[in-house]
Structure 1
């Protein structure tokens, strides 16, 4: 069942449709062969799904290095010109070179931190017995790329009944341009449609719908309602990353001890 008008206030940017609410039947049947990864873990108490928001880490790391080097090179060219001619560039070229250097350095630092400081995975745990959802979430702030407090992992706990899933589609920088489809989860004020916050859930509408359906089936019926996956779970913390510098530098997933215990056990 899909909703043709936004249920939430406000809807997600690029809203396409709302997925069924937590207590309703799923809109689709999970089909393991088309899903990129099986659940990280599944038992009678909790289901853990992978939820990495960042892809192509190696490419992003290269782009970050190139931007930083270009910014430094631009400043060096300007300094060399001043030393060679004993004069400054005209005002407009000087401002253009300065702004491009600052922008390149700013974007390069932001891309580098997003690439190598984001954890290898940002899993989400659905605890069926507690009716709680635990999110391992990496926060960042593009306006403060040098901040320590605005960046970092935080673990958040939500009531299952307060979550809503939305499919959205926005245009993004993809070389020649293109649509970026995703599914996000909104946290609403209890008993209302007022959105308190949102976070990324899955890349691609079909993938997100199936993962959301898995969460619904597990929370409503238990692990026996989920399909069998042909592949074993991926060990995000111990995979071979010899040829990917960004993944080698990225921190491993490490839940806080109290949240880890709570999320894996019954009340």
Structure 2
């Protein structure tokens, strides 16, 4: 009887530990925001993606920051909705950016874009305008862009989150146009 209690206790402790570590790790490591950079001149989009794996909770390979670069022509916006048991009716509508394999319709990656359907549509249209016609085609915004370093709406825990640090090569590439050597 005592052995059964010990086995059950160890199993419960292991399960609680395995469920708690990813939550704590997300709170401590998730960056303040997950920015997207659009380079119209290169026709590239740069994502600052945070990877997580709830099975391999101590893995450095499966957890952490992963900057990824995709061609603008390979991106599409997808809307999906699902019903979940919630107090507000249960309908959840999100927008993700799907990345197609070049030259095909095979989806190779999906990146979260927006929780709100209407806001997501507006953001996507603004991005399309910028990538196709440039900054002069953008509307005049009522509010200035959000400054993540001085945003007082963030919770105290989110203020302690790590700042976004792009790798130097990607930071330089995402801010500049192609050089004459790259265009030939």
TM-score, normalising length from structure 2? 0.85
| Residue 95 (structure 1) shift | 5.0
- Look up the match of 1:248: 159
- Look up the match of 1:226: 138
Residue segments in structure 1 that go unaligned for 5+ positions in a row: 1-86
**For the residues of structure 1 that align with 2:56 and 2:87, how far apart are their CA atoms?**
26
Matched, 1:145 2:57: yes
Matched, 1:99 2:11: yes
- Look up the match of 2:94: 182
Contact 1:241 1:248 in 2 (8 A): no
The higher-RCO structure (CA 8 Å, 6+ apart) is 1
SS of the residue corresponding to residue 49 of structure 2 reads strand
TM-score, normalising length from structure 1? 0.60
**For the residues of structure 2 that align with 1:177 and 1:102, how far apart are their CA atoms?**
35
- Look up the match of 1:125: 37
**For the residues of structure 2 that align with 1:120 and 1:242, how far apart are their CA atoms?**
9
Q: Which structure would you say has the larger Rg? A: 1
- State the Cα RMSD in Å: 2.3
Structure 1 runs of 4+ off > 3 angstroms?
A: 93-100, 171-177, 238-243
Residue segments in structure 2 that go unaligned for 5+ positions in a row: 179-184
- More displaced, 178-187 or 135-144? 178-187
User: How many residues are aligned here?
Assistant: 178
* Residues 74-131 of structure 1: CA deviation (Å, up to 9, x unaligned): xxxxxxxxxxxxx716x3x655544333222212111111222110011101111110
